Every structure is written in C-alpha cells, then in structure tokens.
Structure 1
Amino acid sequence: MTTMTKTEDTPAPTGPEAFLSVRDLRVRFSTEDGIVKAVDGLSFDVERGKTLGIVGESGSGKSVTNLTVLGLHNRKTTEIDGEIVLDGQELTGASERELEKLRGNKVAMIFQDPLTALSPYYTVGRQLSEPFMKHRGASKKEAKARAIEMLDKVGIPQPALRFNDYPHQFSGGMRQRAMIAMALMCDPDLLIADEPTTALDVTVQAQILDLLKDLQQEFGSAIIFITHDLGVIANMADDLLVMYAGRAVERGSVREVLRAPQHPYTWGLLSSMPRLGGDTGESLVPIPGSPPSLLNPPTGCPFHPRCAFTDQVTGASCSGERPSLGAGRAAACHLTGEQKQTIFIDQIKPRLG
C-alpha cells in the first residue's frame, strides 16, 4: 500500500482501550475518470466482545473501510493514509505476508454473497479445512474434525455428510452458515460481517443474527457489522457509526443514536424505514436526491445538497465549511445542539412513532 500526506485529523473516539483502532483513514482509488475518494478521514474503535454497527447507503464507504482493514485492495491503484491498529499491530504499512498471517486467523470476514465468496471447484469441507491447516499447523484429520465441529455449531444438519458437498448443493441460508463456520475456524478476535443477511428471507435472517450473537458470547470476538438496515443494527450492535460519502457523520451507542439521532442524514434513514405496527397506508419519507459522486464530492458538509435544514444554519456555511465530528457521542453538523433537539422533537420523532 502507498500512503498519502496527512491533511486533517479526525478526533479520536473516547472510551475503553480498543482491540481495533482506526484513525483518520483515507482511501483513494485511481481510475480512468480520476481519483475516487472512497474513505475520507474516518476514525472509530472496536472493543473486545462488542459489536460496532456501520450503516449508510451504498457507496458510503462501509465495505471499502473493512476491506482496507484486511489489506484486500490492489496496491497499484490504491492510496491509503491513516492508522489501522489491530491489537497493537499497525496494519497500514504491513507487508502482504504479515497480512496473510492475520486473515482468517486473528481477523476474518463474512462476505455478503457466499455463493461468489466460496469456490465452486472445492468442497465446503476443504475450504473450511485449509485455513485451519495453514494457520494452526493442523493435520488433515484434525482440520476435518474441526470443520465438522464448526458446521455442527452453526446449525448445518448432518455435518459429517455435508462436509463433502459443494457450495451449489447448499441452500442460501446454509451457504451463509458455512461462511460463518469458515470465518470462525481459527477463533478470530475480530469478525467483519459485510451485510451477511441481505439476500436471505426474514426467517433465515433472524436465525443468522441469533447465531452470530451466540457465537460472539462463546468466543468473545469483536464484530464489525456492516448493513444499510437500521432494524438489524438495533438488534445486533452495541455502538453505531453512520457513514455518508466516505465520512462518519454520526457516532454513539445504538441506544443513543436510534432514540435521539442528531444528524439530518440519520433522520432521513430512520424516516425512510417502515414502522412496525404503523398505519398500512402511511407513506415513507425518502431522502431526496442521490448520494454524491466520490470522484468530485461536495465541498463542506457532504450531505448539504440533500439536506432540508441548511437554511437554519447560522454562523457557518454548509457548502463551504466541513463540520467536524467530535469525540464520543457526536454528529458532524453545523446545526446547534438546541436546533437538533427542536427539529427532532417537532418534525422527526412524530414520523417515527
């Protein structure tokens, strides 16, 4: 990975010592059309045994951030700056060999689509066994026993028989369970789940979420859970990071952010969701416009072209000044705390019920 010159620091979150600490992360991709600013000054922490939820629309930088943690970008076309520290080890300048020792071992990822993440040419059992043999020096027999144990733990029926099946012989829910089993083979300290339930029906989705929570309690893993679904986050996460256009716009505990959101973008996300028990004829309130191009993102607050409250800001320019995200519970917005509270109580909360 190459690095860029640091131009601006994002205030660090405060709290207990983190297992994963990301500071002022910036990721740029070189394309034929120009430089894509995929992540722009992002900071967050993940504690041991806790789940950090990251939400935002497609293109907000969620997946790019976590692929960067794993070092899975093309080094020739990607520029990375900032700090990524995993259990005291700096990853930003780590070699490919050092990162290979971590992937699937200390940190593992559950991808959104297991059918494309799993190789169609090898049995599920082989794909589970190989990382265990590589990282733990286990024999084939030991790795097979471990794989069968993990398939059983994630709820695959007749795991000894299904060990020899290929991915196409599994249902969607079973493939996702197999991906979770693969990620947990080496008892990782950090598990990254990239929208792991998006393609599943609600029944299977609930089973997968319950499974992840049970396994976290058993193994004590830290989890980063990436999604666009705030309903899922409410059920899964301890802390929440809301991302927009490669930046964090709001941060806090799940309870704080969902009960009293402070950023207009978070208000928009919540207002656009159907309410459980709401009127069937109730119309949703979509966020106007589209996410910005990261080739040429807006100046100032990246959300200002879609924000309905820019006319209430005084003493600052939403289009000219980039609002900062303070430490701890915070929202990057030029509205005053009193204005945020008034708008939320008078206009947003009645929509949420």
Structure 2
Amino acid sequence: MSPFLEVRDLKVRFATEGGVVKAVDGVSFTLERGKTLGIVGESGSGKSVTNLTLLGLHNPARTTVTGSALLDGTELIGAPERTLRDLRGRRISMVFQDPLTALSPYYPVGAQIAETYRRHTRAGRKEAAVRAVEMLDRVGIPQPDRRAREHPHLFSGGMRQRAMIAMALVCEPDLLIADEPTTALDVTVQAQILELLAELQAQLGTAIILVTHDLGVVADVTDDVLVMYAGRAVERGSADEVLGAPRHPYTRGLLASVPRLSDDVDVPLQPVPGSPPSLLAPPPGCAFHPRCAQVIEGSESPCRTLLPVLTPATTAQGHAAACHLQSADSTVWPIDQEEQGATA
C-alpha cells in the first residue's frame, strides 16, 4: 500500500542575479495518515522551501522544480494551477510562520476563515460565517462570535496563531503543514498550540508536517524526523531513533547545543561551529565537512570529494544517515561537477 504522501528526489532551484540557488537538492520522504513528521535544521536549510513547493506557492518564472510529490496518488509537482487551487485548503493546508503577515489586515478574521470555507464548499455566506465562529471556538478562542468580527491586529500572538490553525483546518484537510507554529510564543501558549494540534489530529486523522527549530517539541509530538542541511536530507528515522541515537555529526551537533536541566548552570553551550554554506556554491563532497569535527582528513578524503546520500524513500524507511562514517546506511555517489561545482 502506497503512503499517503510520498516525496521523491525533490529539487528546487531559484534563479538569482548571483547565480542559481540550490534551495532543495534531492529530498525524499514519506508520511502516513494520522502521523506527524518533524523537519528540523538551521535557517536556510530548505525546510520551508520544501513545504511551499508542495503547495505550488513559488513563482514559476524564477523557480525550477523537479522530482515527484504524490498526495494520495495525486501528483503535486507540475500540476496545473487550477488543480493546486482546488487542493489548497481542502486537502492540504499550511499554518505559516508569521500569522500577522499571513492574515490580511483589511478583513475581519472570521471573514477570512469563511472565505476559505466557501471556496471549497457550496456554503452560503451565513453558513460560512457560522462555520468560522465554530472553528474559532474549536481552537479555544474566547467569545468567538465577537472575535470573528475583529481584525487581526486586535488579536494577541497566540490568538492569531490559533486563528491561522482554524483557517487551515476549516475544510478538514488530509495534510496540515505547520511551519514554526510556536515561534515567538511563550511556553504556556506553545504547549496549548501543540496540544490543540494533537487533539485535532486525533479527531480528524490529519497527517502533519511540523517544521521547527525546537528539538524539545520534536521529541514531544512527532513520530518521525527528517534532518536537513544545505538543502539536503542528512538523517531520517523515527523520533526515538534520531533523537536517541543520532548517526549524523550535524544531528549530534544540534542535540549537543540544547541546554539540559541536569547540566550545571556554568556549563557553556556547545554550538555547531562555523556557518551554513552558501546554496549558490555549496562545498564539494559532504556540505557539512567544513564544520564537522569528525571529518576524514586529506584532500582526497570521501568527505571532501564524494557526496553521501540517503537511501531512497520507502514505506518502511528505517534509520539512515547521509554520512561517510555510516557507510552501512548511506550510498556514495561521485560529485556531479556541473551540479555541485568543482571548487575544493
């Protein structure tokens, strides 16, 4: 049986004045109904670009997309705009990073939720307005009837995030993409948002892709984890496997940078040294090798000359790391000089 969402060899390129940005480079993963996939990595690693591509939200004049993304058998990559418009909001929805900019300042919150509902159903204005109030109440916003008539700037950060979730779920989609849904929220509101997502997932059987920097959130709510670096997937597996026994040096570096309650207060944090590479011209070999403490030394070492990749996505993916130190879990391909450049 095929997985509900199956992404294979997804590549996204942006044409810029400085050259071609390899924003996503051969990412593959699967997701089943009712499950949550966490995608983690530093800013600029390709997490949000991957998910925006699934919704077809990139400018086609500046973007080249290849690969495949099957949503319950429907191909999303290269699909006509009309097909994508019908899918967005109805079968696949997204909670964007910043609800203040994602929500229009010119219309009441309830009207924006009602518009989404009317777009994908035959509901009239009154029915859609009632549905909007019901959704605001469902996500825990007090006095939903009054709040539905207010504009986004009158909502607090947590309430705007809840309103975005209400809009995303108003048509009960099969797939919800939550892009940093707890960013800039205090810990109490974060917990409420995550609890809300879990409750709605249990009620609707929704598959969720959760993009976040917070590894604590990943450990708490996700079933599987995909770690991205420089536009590529560098580790993939269940949350218990990836967080409990990380195989890639980058994943271990991310975990080491998280403070622990058991540590002494004067123990310094251990950040990942260096900076992420430019996606205009990523380094040859493993993109992480300039920052890796375990790099195999030598000008001809595989870390500097050969590109490690994850095994292809399957319905039973297992724990894999794209690292030359994990040869049993990765396949090594010679560098494509045209794709990756020949600079050492």
Q: Answer whether TM exceeds 0.5 for this pair.
A: yes
| Displacement after TM superposition at 1:230 (Å) | 0.8
Residue 299 of structure 1: aligned partner:
284
Q: What aligned pairs does 1:21-32 form with structure 2 within 5 A after superposition? A: 21-32=6-17
Cα distance in 2 for residues equivalent to 1:337 and 1:46:
25
| Displacement after TM superposition at 1:127 (Å) | 0.3
Letter aligned with residue 238 of structure 1: D
Residue 170 of structure 2: aligned partner:
185
Letter aligned with residue 162 of structure 2: R
SS in 1 for 2:160: helix
SS in 2 for 1:108: strand
Residue 340 of structure 2: aligned partner:
none
Q: What aligned pairs does 1:267-282 form with structure 2 within 5 A after superposition? A: 267-282=252-267
CA contact (8 A) 2:69 2:76 kept: yes
Are 1:70 and 2:84 matched, yes or no? no
| Displacement after TM superposition at 1:17 (Å) | 3.0
CA contact (8 A) 1:17 1:47 kept: no
Q: 2:323 aligns with which of 305, 313, 333?
A: 333
Supply the RMSD in Å over aligned alpha carbons: 1.5
Could you list the runs of 4 or more consecutive aligned residues of structure 1 that deviate by over 2 angstroms after TM superposition?
none
Q: 1:48 aligns with which of 8, 11, 33?
A: 33
| Displacement after TM superposition at 1:22 (Å) | 0.5
Aligned positions, number = 323
Residue 171 of structure 1: aligned partner:
156
SS in 2 for 1:65: helix
Residue 194 of structure 2: aligned partner:
209
| Displacement after TM superposition at 1:328 (Å) | 2.5
Letter aligned with residue 49 of structure 1: G
Residue 204 of structure 2: aligned partner:
219
Letter aligned with residue 196 of structure 1: P
Residue 58 of structure 1: aligned partner:
43
Letter aligned with residue 109 of structure 2: V
Tell me the alpha carbon deviations over residues 23-43 of structure 1, each in whole angstroms, 9 at most, x when there is no partner. 000000000100000000000
TM-score, normalisation: structure 1 = 0.89
Task: Return 5+ residue gaps in structure 1 as ranges.
Answer: 1-15, 339-353
Are 1:90 and 2:80 matched, yes or no? no
Residues 336 and 226 (structure 1 numbering): CA distance in 2 closer, same or farther, change over 3 Å? closer
Letter aligned with residue 55 of structure 2: L
Letter aligned with residue 260 of structure 2: R
| Displacement after TM superposition at 1:142 (Å) | 1.0
Task: Return 5+ residue gaps in structure 2 as ranges.
Answer: 312-316, 329-344
Residue 6 of structure 1: aligned partner:
none
Moved more, 328-337 or 209-218: 328-337
Residue 263 of structure 1: aligned partner:
248
| Displacement after TM superposition at 1:161 (Å) | 1.0
Residue 348 of structure 1: aligned partner:
none
CA contact (8 A) 2:41 2:213 kept: yes
Cα distance in 2 for residues equivalent to 1:264 and 1:337:
14
Letter aligned with residue 320 of structure 1: T
Cα distance in 1 for residues equivalent to 2:234 and 2:327:
15
Residues 179 and 331 (structure 1 numbering): CA distance in 2 closer, same or farther, change over 3 Å? same
Residue 81 of structure 1: aligned partner:
66
| Displacement after TM superposition at 1:312 (Å) | 7.0
Cα distance in 1 for residues equivalent to 2:224 and 2:260:
22
Tell me the alpha carbon deviations over residues 180-228 of structure 1, each in whole angstroms, 9 at most, x when there is no partner. 0000000000000000111101111111011111110011100000011
Q: 1:233 aligns with which of 205, 218, 225?
A: 218
SS in 1 for 2:66: strand
CA contact (8 A) 2:296 2:302 kept: no
Letter aligned with residue 128 of structure 1: I
Cα distance in 1 for residues equivalent to 2:242 and 2:285:
23
SS in 1 for 2:11: strand
| Displacement after TM superposition at 1:337 (Å) | 6.7
Q: 1:157 aligns with which of 137, 142, 145?
A: 142
Tell me the alpha carbon deviations over residues 133-173 of structure 1, each in whole angstroms, 9 at most, x when there is no partner. 11011011111111111100100001011110000111110
Cα distance in 2 for residues equivalent to 1:311 and 1:295:
25
TM-score, normalisation: structure 2 = 0.91
Cα distance in 1 for residues equivalent to 2:285 and 2:190:
38
CA contact (8 A) 1:130 1:143 kept: yes
| Displacement after TM superposition at 1:316 (Å) | 5.1
SS in 2 for 1:335: helix
Cα distance in 2 for residues equivalent to 1:188 and 1:152:
18
Letter aligned with residue 112 of structure 2: Q
CA contact (8 A) 1:82 1:92 kept: yes
